[in-house]
């Protein structure tokens, strides 16, 4: 959510069945969470719900890959692309899963993965961010480096100090 530069009045649509960390990432940016209904068959976001929930302030959609099952990402991407809305796949439970031959978390503009001990691939904590957008990747790198752009920091030779 930080890479999207969300502002206070911006909105992000999420499924009504999600984990608090997803919404906390939105709220941390002071944006507004908009819940949309899920499909009772897949427990994932229903694409027709997006049109009902979308407003002029909608900046992103965060579909959740639940238990390895993706929502209809083709429909979600179509709606989002037509309106300039970012799609952030919450693939916390999607490591190893696929959507139409693509790894979960790689259909949207970016994907986020969790390696918490309750997930299907665990390191105890941590996660991963995926995107094929160089601009988003550069922003994510700067955020990861706590605001430092390592691409512009040049290595300087160390000055030798003689103790005498």
CATH of the domain at 49: 3.40.640.10
Please determine, for residue 162, whether its predicted confidence score (pLDDT) is greater than 60: no
What is the count of structural domains for the chain? 1
Give the dihedral sign, CA 119/123/125/129: negative
Assessment of whether the complete model's pTM goes beyond 0.85: no
The parent domain of residue 75 ranges over 2-144
For residue 149, what are the CA distances in angstroms to 127, 131, 132, 144? 21, 18, 19, 10
pLDDT, tens digit, for every residue of 104-127? 888 889 988 877 666 566 566 667
Q: Kindly indicate the confidence band of residue 85, based on its pLDDT and cuts at 50, 70 and 90.
A: very high
Rounded average pLDDT over 54-64: 95
Q: How far apart are CA 164 and CA 162, in angstroms?
A: 6
In a domain, 161, yes or no: no
Active-site positions? 119
pLDDT, tens digit, for every residue of 134-150? 887 777 776 666 666 66
In a domain, 164, yes or no: no
In a domain, 6, yes or no: yes
In a domain, 160, yes or no: no
In a domain, 158, yes or no: no
State phi, psi for 137 to the nearest 5 degrees: -65, -40
């Amino acid at each position: 959510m930080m890479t999207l530069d969300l502002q206070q009045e911006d909105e992000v649509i999420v499924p009504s069945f999600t984990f608090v960390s997803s919404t906390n990432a939105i709220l941390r940016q002071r944006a507004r969470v908009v819940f949309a209904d899920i499909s009772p068959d897949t427990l994932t976001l229903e694409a027709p719900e997006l049109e009902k929930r979308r407003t002029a302030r909608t900046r992103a959609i965060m579909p959740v890959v639940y238990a390895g099952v993706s929502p209809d990402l083709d429909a979600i991407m179509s709606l989002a692309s037509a309106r300039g809305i970012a799609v952030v796949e919450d693939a916390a439970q999607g490591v190893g899963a696929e959507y139409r031959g693509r790894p979960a978390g790689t259909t949207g503009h970016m994907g986020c993965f969790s390696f918490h001990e309750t997930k299907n691939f665990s390191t105890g904590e941590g996660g991963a961010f995926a995107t094929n957008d160089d601009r988003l990747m550069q922003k994510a790198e700067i955020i990861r480096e706590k605001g430092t752009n390592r691409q512009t920091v040049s290595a300087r030779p160390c000055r030798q100090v003689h103790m005498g």
